[in-house]
Structure 1
């Protein structure tokens, strides 16, 4: 009986060791896969951030060169700043107050087909109002675009 108990005992130890080894290998594989997934997500976030940074810089430059209306630039830049993949999101409204003020005043204006559906009188009235907002905030926005030309949000 001592021999049987000893053989069973050793068999159980070997089986337990095999199970522990298999579970360890599986856990190691899962950790490796998780690290790879985290790296892919980090790379994707960085790629998105690089794209946003480049777009913000380009639009800021176009605004300064008068190749882009201040209103259109404000809408585009503020929308991109809201999409920056950072948590917590920096307080860009505090950093670029004039840009966000103009954005707040014009973001409700219809665009594309909805704008074309307006009468000429309604479009002219909106354009006049938009141009007034732009002229009031132009100097402050142009100062902010200097900072935006070198904008670099970082993870």
Structure 2
């Protein structure tokens, strides 16, 4: 009988020990989930802020439209969005997205660079007025973007 009581107490202490350990793990998991949620919210806010900065720079002429649409397309991806609702920006993006940049651009022949520049600038001029309108819409739309 004494052995049964000792074994029962031992079993209860193991159960309580495991329950305590499980509670600690659940508390740590909850903290970790909270930190992940905070990190996601902070990233979401940074992305929205970046979209707003680029949009305003495009409006004021500090950032050319070609560079702006390339950057905006990348910043919209984490939200599951794209330039589809903004046809002029989408068209410009289709024209410039595959054009070489940086070192690849410098390695092109002068004639090729001039042709690409002319193509890019022509497209920017063609879509400029519509893009300015669409940027206003985009800046309004990002306020409605949820988290990802």
Q: TM-score, normalised by structure 2?
A: 0.89
Alignment partner, residue 154 of structure 1 = 146
Unaligned regions of 5+ residues in structure 1, if any? 1-5
Give secondary structure in 2 for the equivalent of 1:122. helix
The CA distance in 2 between the partners of 1:148 and 1:60, in whole Å, is 8
Alignment partner, residue 76 of structure 1 = 71
State the number of aligned residues. 145
Note the alpha carbon deviations across 1:4-55, whole angstroms, 9 max, x for none. xx21221122111111111111111111111111111111111111111111
1:33 matched to 2:28: yes
Unaligned regions of 5+ residues in structure 2, if any? none
1:65 matched to 2:60: yes
| Distance apart, 1:148 and its partner CA | 2.8
Alignment partner, residue 126 of structure 2 = 136
Stretch of structure 1 that moved more, 51-60 or 143-152? 143-152
Alignment partner, residue 93 of structure 2 = 103
From 82, 88, 94, the equivalent of 1:92 is: 82
Distance verdict in 2 for CA 1:10–1:97, change over 3 Å: farther
Stretch of structure 1 that moved more, 129-138 or 62-71? 129-138
The CA distance in 1 between the partners of 2:34 and 2:86, in whole Å, is 32
Give secondary structure in 1 for the equivalent of 2:83. helix
The CA distance in 1 between the partners of 2:88 and 2:26, in whole Å, is 47
Alignment partner, residue 16 of structure 1 = 11
The CA distance in 2 between the partners of 1:34 and 1:94, in whole Å, is 39
RMSD: 1.5
Give secondary structure in 2 for the equivalent of 1:95. coil
The CA distance in 1 between the partners of 2:18 and 2:69, in whole Å, is 55
From 91, 98, 116, the equivalent of 1:126 is: 116
The CA distance in 2 between the partners of 1:36 and 1:63, in whole Å, is 40
